[in-house]
Structure 1
């Protein structure tokens, strides 16, 4: 399967999983943790363990497109071990930036069995795509939150609230601001 076809397949799968009300929202807050080792995970699939296998070449010989290489990114699908980890699935990524883990609940979708049913190259492509999609979503949300706080700072809508010994800093909404000004 060509690299373009694999990416096209992954995009179709991701679009269908993102439908409103889908259980794919179980990825949660897209918290990707950096870890020292992958201890504490039972690896259930290690697609394309050899670096040379993670290169996708064009299928048509007269094609102008170059191959795509993922040789530096090792992806594994695993189940976390330990108390409170039942029903969770993890995608483990090892690359030049270190070892990273994305854990999520499978929910009602049989993500693990769907991944394991695919051929090895498609397993790798889909696991990689899910991991990267979660990473991009998290980066987008961090940027949106930073933008929200920057706009609130410019508008003077950052407030502090004291409750006992603790302080809470929050962004005042436009409705709260209107109520405060009307008093």
Structure 2
């Protein structure tokens, strides 16, 4: 009877040990967790984009008008010339355009007001070249440092703070082990 009891207890202990969740994480698993997190919660930089009725002066604002024309050629905005005042023998003419956003721009528009929109100018994606650096703090938490490379959107020329010192950023995420969901990024 004692042998049977010891045998049953040892099976129960082995069964519980086998059901224990995996508490270690490696570099590939950490990269996969971060990739899944970035798909659900993308990292990006935004700026305010002006549209609607805008007046351009030929000498002062032609560069700005060129940026809008580039967007129009890509199908992100519609440009309609409302008024053109050509001054006789002058380089200083003025043009009034009605600028409207198209459906093609909607994935890049985060918030829209009457004449301004918040648009994505840079999106950050996980870099393939630089490996994921992680440190397991304890059995249920880990710190993961990744390199995110910048990819510019079509609205990037409108970024007011366009001075880039690098083409990537380094970001650290804290991972927590959940019994139900496994390793997840902790906010």
- TM-score normalised according to structure 1 size: 0.18
TM-score, normalised relative to structure 2 = 0.18
Structure with the higher fraction of residues in helix conformation: 1
